[in-house]
């Protein structure tokens, strides 16, 4: 079971260091088969890596470019992340798709390069609200997943776009059905993301085929994030 916290554009380096320092003590006695990772913004990665050194809590980036270097203003390479001690990266988050022009093809290029560089990758997929209402969820997931290949370091996060930052959450049955589709295409762990909270984590994480959660807003609050991690540790 993997619980990953995507901080998005939140927490300065000093705030990240303070949060991580408290988190490592808060989760020091966590039992069960649960892995924990945090994904700070680029400017807070080094502080998080330093603070979480010699713990089991991994640090990941929110994005990575497919080229090793070059004229790509605002982008970060896999080698830059590896040198910092970063363990993993997200690719293809719906906010990157919406605001930064990400596509299935750029997701695939970013994922392939990151995996080749030794990073773990969480690739994000999920349908828009109108696509679900039109009965196109399975078709969307098949299209998005088709650009990826199985890898021991690949994880997929199913994030229904209509449930990200909206307070809406997929029902346990909706989450289970989407995860079944994804797992029928690739034999990799699949996380659920989309307004995960301590209040709904037990129902969502207890569904067959749900291998953890990619947590957004709730990962910014120490007690909420720790509560989700502790819930995951109790899932059989």
Greatest extent of the chain over all pairs of C-alpha atoms, in Å: 48
Contact yes or no for 15/43 (Cβ under 8 A): no
Which structural domains are found in the chain, ordered by start? 2-233 (3.20.20.70)
Reported confidence tier of residue 164, pLDDT bands at 50, 70, 90? confident
Q: Residue 94's pLDDT band (boundaries 50, 70, 90)?
A: very high
Computed over every residue of the chain, the mean pLDDT equals 95
Burial of 182 (0-12, 13-18, 19+ CB in 10 A): buried
Average pLDDT of 102-130?
Answer: 97
Q: How many CB atoms lie within 10 A of CB 29?
A: 8
Residue 23 class from Cβ within 10 Å (0-12 exposed, 13-18 middle, 19+ buried)?
A: buried
Residue 102's pLDDT band (cuts 50, 70, 90):
very high
Query: Is the pLDDT score of 29 beyond 90?
Result: no
Average pLDDT of span 125-151: 95
- Which segment of 19-33, 65-79, 105-119 scores lowest on mean pLDDT? 19-33
Q: Tokens standing for 99?
A: 């605001």
CA atoms within 13 A on the CB side of 76: 19
Asked if pLDDT for residue 32 goes beyond 90, the answer is no
For residue 209, pLDDT beyond 90? yes
pLDDT (average), residues 143-161: 96
Q: Which residues are catalytic?
A: 93, 159
- Confidence at residue 169, expressed as pLDDT on a 0 to 100 scale: 79
Q: What is the mean pLDDT of residues 162-188?
A: 88
Q: What angle do CA 200, 203, 209 make, to 5 degrees?
A: 125
Confidence check: pLDDT of 126 > 80 = yes
The residue that leads in pLDDT, 107 or 170, is 107
Choose among 180, 216, 159: nearest CA to 3: 216
Q: How far apart are CA 17 and CA 47, in angstroms?
A: 5
What confidence tier does 227 reach under pLDDT thresholds 50, 70, 90?
very high
H-state helical runs in 170-221: 172-185, 201-205
Q: What does the pLDDT read at residue 181?
A: 96
Assess whether pLDDT exceeds 90 at residue 145: yes
């Amino acid at each position: 079971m993997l619980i990953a916290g995507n901080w998005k554009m939140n927490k300065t380096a000093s705030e990240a260091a303070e949060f991580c320092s408290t988190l490592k003590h808060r989760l020091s006695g966590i039992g069960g088969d649960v892995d924990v990772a945090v994904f700070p913004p680029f400017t807070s990665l080094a502080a998080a890596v330093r603070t979480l050194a010699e713990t089991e809590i991994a640090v990941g980036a929110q994005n990575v470019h497919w080229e090793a270097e070059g004229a790509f203003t605002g982008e970060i390479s896999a080698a830059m992340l590896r040198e910092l001690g970063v363990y993993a990266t997200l690719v293809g988050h719906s906010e990157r798709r919406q605001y930064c022009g990400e596509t299935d093809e750029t997701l695939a290029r970013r994922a392939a390069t990151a995996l080749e560089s030794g990073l773990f990758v969480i690739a994000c997929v999920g349908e828009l609200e109108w696509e679900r209402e039109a009965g196109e969820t399975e078709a969307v997931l098949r299209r998005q997943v088709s650009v990826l290949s199985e890898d021991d370091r690949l994880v997929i996060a199913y994030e229904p776009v209509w449930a990200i930052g909206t307070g809406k959450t997929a029902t346990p049955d909706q989450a289970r059905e989407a995860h079944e589709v994804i797992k029928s295409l690739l034999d990799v762990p699949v996380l659920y993301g989309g307004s995960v909270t301590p209040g709904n984590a037990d129902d969502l994480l207890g569904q067959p085929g749900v291998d953890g959660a990619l947590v957004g807003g709730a990962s910014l609050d120490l007690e909420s994030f720790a509560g989700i991690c502790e819930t995951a540790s109790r899932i059989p």
